[in-house]
Structure 1
């Protein structure tokens, strides 16, 4: 038995018809897991494949019966994984350096891209450095910020030190916004470049608004629906959501709150908001209909690197109330196509949410403008930018004295 078999790897050798680059893409989350990182990674991987690159997707097996045959679109390598505590539907990778060294020694990629910083991501980084492969990474999840919401805030500095060490050993780290790039650079992160995120405007559109769904929620055509989509978990700052909706309800008891998602705080949130509608996890057109059938999107999270739900809500024609950072800061013109609130000011969030909910016509007018704002966030252009950064990483690896990466990436894109 070889090392790959011993590590529990399943390999599917299908390749793109016309290979341009051989890209090893390493991630510890991928659909059907439901989260913004998994969705974004799937868009990038599938977009690279459509651009005739030979993509080798390396990720944890998501259940004991899964085989690589489920994804014939590209070469897939399924590694052993373990359930994440408190998130049984998600998996994390395990140390796998030896298997990856063997895999890439036989099937050497042109470039390695690491999307997550867990045990599998660290193993991929070590294997790539061992084999002297060009390697780049993504900063996609604020694990360091999450620590403050799980009673382990004392780990903030060690986590940041690990993340800084991880990313600074790659030749480039992609981040979704310029603001995050500046923050990380101030924290000692190097070789950062901005690659934003797109939204599927064919899926997320006001045309999916469903009166039948609204009737199921018990709301009339002229009633306002507040919507939240995301994990029901401490890092999403849901105390601010409940405070806002309680204040809104005191002004107008007919307004409904619809919560789409699941997570460890669901029972607590249900007890706090007994009249809210908990729709559970939704996908595809069903999720799109839930977005489009709302009116006001309340997003109180303070731990996003981007916040895909912001763009999905805007594309669906909803006015968004959010703190002034991540995707919201990048896309919302406060008072025009949504409303921005100063960072970590819960009282202001509540006041703004109450004011927005009091004017249904203004909400819907902002929603129309929000939809227009997202019309140019095309995934094809995002994938092309991503491709350009990969090419720049390869150039930099081949010629260490070349131009700084960000300048090179712009030329390659």
Structure 2
């Protein structure tokens, strides 16, 4: 099957290009918002007196409504249009940011995180599908590249922005959310004003579970499962307990080590994605899984030695592997979807990813409360490395059968 999407009619080409970048920026910003709370989690735990297990529940509660939005509403933009769904998701994300800024206890924090998850799931599915619809005709692979790169790049930018503002600016628990809220309003207005609606044959929506893996994509999807599990589980640890581990290894109370660890992981993932954009998807997955396994092994060494410098080195290596493996998996899968199935297939990919994002983090929080953060990090990193090796074997085996 061709990896190119059907060309946009010439008369609409310029309008499509104008609509493409506002959707891309909106997708990136939703990931900026997703990682912004990470450098603050340790402060929240200290202020409101909760343990690592509670912290990871707060972190993971984001994933449950996100999965609901993907399962039930992930393909709804295929029926009612991209812009209405994107603007609705933006409004919900804005409310979650207001709740974060106003939080004065655990209940507010959980409510904000849950609503943020629902909005992010909705926005991820619709914006990813819109990028595939509206990408420039002469750059048919750009949408899939941005779909993978914006997620990691946005997470890096959000963590670094939050860490800097929390460390050096006034009202650290509020300012970062207000800054993101202002950017969100501007981008939502740009989508409303500049983006063309790419769905013209609208039908009355029927709410149902909308996760579809087309028959021709199922072998590739099954082979991608270990890679998705290892990459998202790694991301989950760094965004939840990673900042606490970085602070413990660096023996400081500063917020910057935690923000730097998240930014290094996701920033290196983004750079690796961009640097290998011309590689075949299968090559990216195979090389990425090998590098991810090596990075996870280094993390075990860094944690055992209590060395923050080795930890940062392992983060760079693991981040590069994460970017390669995830971008290759994402590009390989979305290329198999027909236009009417894009939203639902993207939803299926992210459902699996966010399940791996939430469940291991909660388990890690429970284990950390009982056995300590260092022992948890050792076991978690070893498990991620093992998954990456399984993913490498699955990818090479599938390539050999073709």
TM over 0.5: no
Higher-helix-fraction structure? 2
Q: State TM-score, norm by structure 2.
A: 0.27
Higher-strand-fraction structure? 1
